[in-house]
């Protein structure tokens, strides 16, 4: 059995709670319950499924401060951001409750027969392997469409946010969900191969690192199971001469440093046209230096700790590598002492801006999953596009220009799953979410996410 799982407050390094992992008997019981519930849930009406999700949404809305407290304590995001995440979950639940039935209706197709159609039917139990950075929203965008399709869900959350996982499970139970509809597996990663291979698991979705994604894909592929992977990103934030810097600069600050910069769709590479580079950088550095970092429950602070000290050490190593190889550190580049003082510093790192990046630096090719903005200057739009696409990742992208032809060019040619023009990359239930290259396989959200874990069945009647 895996070792005890601990929930640690990253602002103080204090252990909040410990959990005993599920043993073989507990895992077997949960898998059996999921299989039994799927046989029932797949026969329920859209009305019943929708009613459940709306009830969960209402319960979340009535308990936002309590839910957000768990999130902030366990993973460190500022309390206001945790409350916003909980509210977004309620919104997402309502959207899938209201729109999924229309997306799952049979599609009639004209054929040389009395009837041709496409029917969308559930697969079974979907195993979700989820990360810690958005511990509520990442789960809701998997379980809401799964429930509406008629599937059931098994959640293996990141160990560091086990309390968040159990809170979500409890919200569904208190909203009237059958016991087998949405269950948390309190297990370590070592148990995943056996769970993925179990015939009662129909498909797998993972949000996480590239290495974890390809490993899970290989395990699922070995037993012929569908996967959806949302992996890393090194999103470009491209600013061209016609951009409105009064909007681009503050949006860039939010896009890079929100959630401590710990987001796959955070703006990570700021690619600036030489005509506006100096002004943008001056304003951007000043705004970065003005960010308040500290106790995430203090409303004056815009950034809390990173998820843990290991993350701080990784960010520190990437920045120090760049510094040693000649990069310019405009601000930040240091650890910070947390609210408990130097004897218990927590996992704090200063918001950082770096330029003078060369290809031999780690930050040039690796995802920097923390509050570090990488700045590049280019001569023209073509060079900006080439640099943006020169990455193993292809998740989101943001381009700032008021030139209509430049907008068309970047929408067409950016190698990314998402292109936002004059705005920050965000996830929303109405639009598909996902990437290409090492950023993943498949899509979440919108009709595309609803259909990912369906049997898309061809119907032909003579």
| Residue 202: C-alpha distances to residues 38, 220, 280, 410, 454 (Å) | 11, 10, 49, 38, 10
Which entry of 74, 230, 302, 444 is annotated as an active-site residue?
Answer: 230
DSSP assignment letter at 421: E
Which of 83, 91, 30 lies closest to 58, judged by CA? 91
Measure CA 428 to chain center.
11
The Cα 206–Cα 217 span in angstroms is 9
Helix (H, G, I), strand (E, B) or coil at 2: coil
Catalytic residue among 264, 302, 452, 454: 264
Catalytic site includes residue 454: no
Of 346, 445, 452, the closest CA to residue 88 belongs to: 445
**Exposed, middle or buried, 426 (CB in 10 Å: 0-12/13-18/19+)?**
middle
Q: Is 264 assigned a catalytic role?
A: yes
CA dist., res. 415 & res. 394, Å (int): 6
Q: How is the chain split among helix, strand and coil, in percent rounded to 5?
A: 45, 20, 35
- What are the residues whose beta carbons fall under 8 Å from the beta carbon of 13, sequence distance 6 or more? 309, 340, 344, 345, 346, 347
Cα-to-chain-centroid distance, residue 130: 8
Catalytic residues: 230, 264
């Amino acid at each position: 059995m895996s070792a005890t799982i601990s929930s640690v407050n990253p602002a103080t390094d204090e252990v909040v709670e410990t959990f005993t992992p599920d043993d073989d008997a507990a895992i077997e019981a949960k898998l059996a319950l999921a299989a039994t519930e799927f046989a029932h849930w797949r026969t329920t009406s859209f009305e019943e499924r929708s009613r459940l999700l709306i009830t969960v949404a209402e319960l979340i809305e009535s308990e936002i401060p309590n839910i957000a407290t768990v999130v902030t304590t366990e993973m460190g995001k500022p309390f206001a951001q945790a409350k916003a995440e909980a509210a977004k979950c309620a919104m997402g639940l309502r959207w899938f409750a209201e729109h999924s039935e229309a997306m799952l209706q049979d599609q009639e197709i004209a054929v040389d027969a009395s009837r041709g159609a496409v029917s969308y039917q559930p697969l079974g139990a979907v195993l979700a392997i989820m990360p810690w950075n958005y511990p509520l929203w990442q789960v809701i965008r998997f379980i809401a469409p799964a429930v509406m399709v008629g599937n059931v869900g098994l959640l293996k959350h990141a160990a560091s946010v086990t309390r968040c996982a159990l809170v979500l499970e409890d919200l569904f139970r208190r909203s009237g969900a059958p016991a087998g509809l949405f269950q948390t597996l309190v297990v370590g990663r070592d148990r995943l191969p056996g769970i993925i291979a179990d015939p009662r698991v129909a498909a797998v979705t993972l949000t996480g690192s590239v290495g974890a994604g390809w490993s899970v894909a290989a395990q699922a592929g070995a037993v012929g199971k569908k996967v959806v992977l949302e992996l890393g990103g090194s999103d470009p934030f491209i600013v061209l001469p016609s951009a409105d810097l009064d909007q681009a600069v503050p949006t860039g600050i939010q896009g890079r440093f929100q959630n401590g910069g710990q987001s796959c769709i955070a703006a990570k590479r700021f690619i600036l046209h030489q005509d506006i580079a100096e002004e943008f950088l001056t304003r951007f550095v000043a705004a970065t230096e003005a960010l308040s970092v500290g106790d995430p429950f203090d409303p004056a602070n815009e950034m809390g700790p990173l998820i843990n000290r290991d993350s701080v050490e990784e960010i520190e190593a990437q920045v120090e590598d760049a510094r040693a190889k000649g990069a310019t550190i405009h601000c930040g580049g240091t650890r910070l002492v947390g609210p408990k003082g130097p004897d218990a510093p927590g996992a704090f790192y200063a918001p950082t801006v770096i330029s003078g990046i060369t290809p031999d630096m780690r930050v040039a090719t690796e995802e920097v999953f923390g509050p570090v903005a990488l700045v590049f200057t280019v001569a023209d739009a073509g060079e900006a596009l080439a640099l943006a696409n020169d990455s193993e990742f292809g998740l989101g992208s943001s381009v700032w220009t008021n030139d209509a032809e430049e907008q068309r060019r970047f929408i067409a040619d950016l190698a990314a799953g998402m292109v936002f023009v004059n705005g920050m990359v965000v996830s929303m239930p109405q639009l598909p979410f996902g990437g290409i290259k090492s950023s993943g396989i498949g899509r979440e959200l919108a009709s595309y996410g609803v259909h990912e874990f369906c049997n898309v069945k061809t119907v032909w009647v003579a």
